[in-house]
Chains A and B, each alone.
Chain A
Amino acid sequence: MAIPTFTGLETALRGLTAAQAAIDTTGQNIANANNPGYSRQTAVLAESDSLDLPAFSNTTGHGVQLGTGVDVTTINRVRDQFLDVQYRAQNSATSGLQTASGLLQQVQTALAEPSTDGVTSQLTAFWNSWSNLANAPTSLAAKQGVVDSATTLADTFNGIDSQLQTIQNQADSQYTSLTSSSGQIQSDANQIAALNGEINQALGAGQSPNNLLDQRDQLLDDLSQYGTVSVTDPGNGLLVVNFGGDMSTPLVNGKSANSVSSLNLGPNSGGTIGTLAGLVSPTGQISGYLNTLNQFATTLANSVNALHTATPFFAVNTSTTSLGATATTLSVAVAPANVQTTTTSNPGANDVAMAIAGLAGGAADQDYSSFVSQVGSDVQSNQSNLTTANTLLSSINGQRESVSGVSLDEEMTNLITYQRAYEASARMMNTINSTLDTIINQVGAGL
């Protein structure tokens, strides 16, 4: 049996087509070299079905299989799903720390230490004004000085307290806006659900929807910054995405997305890691700070009031319902003329003023110093965790980039390889053409 006349032409054509597809893929890679969500693609080539020639050989009488060239079976997307899982977990942790870091930094700034505006300086000025009054117990100017410095101190408390509450409120409203039905999380979930549908359809049609897969992976990356993302792929492209540690109600279930509010977002409604957790956990911390500030203000006011026996010097709000009750409302309750200098009826005595001045450097100062140091070390440990998390994230990102990123050198090499292959296939076609020319035009010419 003979070989069909045009088989060679067909083989050369397949070579040309495959080389062209590979060159086009290379072109696609080069064009997307700097696209962060892009996964590089490769044209997967395979030999096409061979031609069976049953009794081609006269000597052995056996048939042979003649190759018919190459097929482009698919355009593959190079991606490591395990690195994606690692990246998303680390991204959640890093984003959570980043968010917490911002909030804690604001708390630290609100304390204004070390400076002349912080509580430390105001406290020193307050004690010293009592000392001055002890030196001149009958002086109305010294009494005015005590009331002035006490008012400044109380104002500083009120200011810090209201700043801390503002930070807390901001965190709360950021949390609400992220988890609302028009928030970023819901929007990501809806888009993932829509892409699930399209990908499912394309896979069903036997296609490889690389660009849709890239888009979906990027949305999952984006989602992972808000909370834990765990993805289950049943194989048909209809991903099930669990979010924020809720393993019972998925955020995205195939083609449909559940509302964020229907999820159980773990402890304190923020999951354990991610921006949401970051917004919730410092809120807890800030409540703690407010509480400490309040206790400090209460202790200070009570210790002064205990010595200022005639009338309370500071107005203390003993309400237990509001967190920063004392710190919020702390104020001076006496007029300058009523500032008490003595428990006796002798106007020149200074026992009360001296006793209050003697509180300087005592428990109140120590408490505040350890409070400031506590805030400082919280910020510091958060920052050092954040640095570590950032390093890990960029390392995982590097690995991912190593797998999926486009290397221009590699692409140029491929370009040359496929260009040469294309040229060779064209030459092949030329050669076949000239053999056919021999058959058709030379053999039997002149008949």
Chain B
Amino acid sequence: MFGRITTMMTAQATMSDLTLAFDRLTQTQSELSSGKKIQEPSDDPYGMSLIVSMQGQLGALTAYGNNITDGTAWTQASQTAMTNIANIVQRVRELTVAASNGTNTTSNLSGYAAEVQQLISAVKQEANTTYNGQYLFAGTANVQPYQTSTGDLYQGNSGSSAVIDRLIGPNTTVQVNVDLSQVLGNGAAGQGGPDGKLLDTLNNIYQDMTTGNTTALTNTDLGNLDTNFSNLTQMQASLGATEDRLQLASSRIQDLNTADTTVLSNTQDADMAQTEINYSTQQAAYQAALKAGANIVQGSLLDFLK
């Protein structure tokens, strides 16, 4: 405390208190109006670094989420195409069983053969399915996998360079495409085969029906077809596992998203109830300071002198 108190000291002290009170009030008011307690890095440097990294993480999570959605759409489109092929194979099997029956006439057999021929091009059409401008079963070559008219030779690529991945988490990728050519193969002899795979088998069935070779239909073709079918369902199962993995990743991403959003909100957002209370308190303090300021130096010895 000072020995002498002058009117100027009182005025200066009141002024600086008023400024401080108003400063606090302004800060709280902007917290209220923006709903954010950190508006500048200096409000809370550590909190700020948390906000920046949380925003980055949330951005990355959004990207992973999009990738998973895209990957899921890709696998589902593949799954649909493969299910269609499986149905076609079933139909061919029915026709083959019917054709291998020795009672068929030549015209019956050629009727079956005509349908099988149609079904072969249906298989190739399914294999040529595109998603978002890309062929699902051409590897990374992005060309039409099978020519519809001329031959059954696979046009895409295979092996490690044909893998199409989606980034579903930090350093985590999942392969979304399958190499359907492993099941379909390159067709019959003279076209790329023979390789005993589905298109080869279908062509053999067609040939055997046309030539009326019911023995071959019964003894070899039916067995080959079953092997091919089981390879196809195996591939479908592995694609199903990929779908499950994407599904799991998706729900994990959602959990992480919720957690990060909570951290971000706790760091960044103002506690409205608390801020409201602070605001009222500070407003009362400011008004008291104003009142004190208005009353300052109103009285002096002068009032009591005649």
Contacts and interface: CB of A to CB of B under 8 A. Distances in A.
B55 A408 contact: no
B67 A131 contact: yes
Interface string B38-81: 11111111101101110111111011101100100000000000
Interface of B: 2-9, 12-13, 16, 36, 38-46, 48-49, 51-53, 55-60, 62-64, 66-67, 70, 132-135, 138-142, 157, 161-162, 164-167, 170-171, 173, 268, 297, 300-302, 305
B139 A134 contact: no
B295 to A, nearest CB: 16
Nearest to A360: B60
Contacts of A374: 45
B32 to A, nearest CB: 17
Contacts of B139: 346, 348
B51 A135 contact: no
Contact of A347 (B39, B41, B142): B142
Contacts of B64: 131
B126 to A, nearest CB: 19
Nearest to B3: A402
A369 B42 contact: no
B59 A350 contact: no
A124 B57 CA distance: 9
Interface in A355-388: 357-358, 360-361, 365-366, 368-370, 372-380, 383
B140 A346 contact: yes
A131 B60 CA distance: 9
A405 to B, nearest CB: 4
Given A346-B161, A348-B139, A406-B6, A113 B48 contact: yes
Contact of A372 (B9, B48, B70, B297): B48
Interface stretch (A181-189, A391-399, A425-433): A391-399
B292 to A, nearest CB: 17
Contacts of A398: 2, 9, 12-13
Given A114-B268, A373-B45, A127 B60 contact: yes
Identify which of B56, B164, B305 gathers the most chain A CB atoms within 10 Å of its CB. Answer: B56
Contact of B53 (A136, A342, A365): A365
Interface in A390-418: 394, 397-399, 401-403, 405-410, 412-413, 416
Nearest to A38: B8
Interface string A11-52: 000000000000000000000011010000000000000000
A235 to B, nearest CB: 28
B41 A376 contact: yes
Interface residues of A, number: 66
**Complex A-B, nearest 3 residue pairs according to Cβ-Cβ distance, in ascending order:** A376-B41, A124-B59, A373-B49
A286 interface: no
Nearest to A115: B39
Contacts of A366: 53
A370 B49 contact: yes
A290 to B, nearest CB: 17
Contact of A401 (B8, B55, B135, B268): B8
B55 A120 contact: yes
B56 A412 contact: no
A347 B9 CA distance: 80
A120 B2 contact: no
Nearest to B19: A390
A369 B132 contact: no
A132 interface: yes
A36 B12 CA distance: 11
Given A346-B161, A354-B173, A134 B67 contact: yes
B140 A347 contact: yes
A176 interface: no
Contacts of B46: 373, 377
A268 B162 CA distance: 62
A377 B41 CA distance: 7
Nearest to A126: B59
Given A139-B132, A348-B142, 16 more contacts: A34-B8, A113-B41, A113-B48, A121-B59, A128-B66, A131-B167, A346-B139, A346-B157, A348-B134, A360-B63, A380-B43, A394-B16, A401-B12, A402-B4, A407-B6, A412-B305
Contacts of A123: 56, 59
Contact of B142 (A36, A138, A380): A138
B166 A135 contact: yes
A344 interface: yes
Contacts of B301: 408-409, 412-413
A108 interface: yes
A407 B66 contact: no
27 contacts: A36-B8, A113-B52, A114-B52, A124-B60, A346-B157, A346-B162, A347-B142, A348-B138, A350-B164, A354-B166, A354-B167, A357-B63, A357-B167, A360-B56, A369-B49, A369-B52, A373-B45, A373-B46, A375-B41, A377-B45, A401-B12, A402-B6, A406-B7, A406-B8, A409-B301, A412-B301, A412-B305
A135 B142 contact: no
Nearest to A113: B41
A370 B45 CA distance: 9
- Best-buried of B7, B40, B42, B135 by chain A (most CB within 10 Å): B42
Given A373-B41, A398-B12, A347 B6 contact: no
B224 to A, nearest CB: 31
Contacts of B58: 124
Nearest to A123: B56
A350 to B, nearest CB: 7
A361 B141 CA distance: 31
B56 A124 contact: yes
Contacts of A124: 55-56, 58-60
Nearest to B51: A114
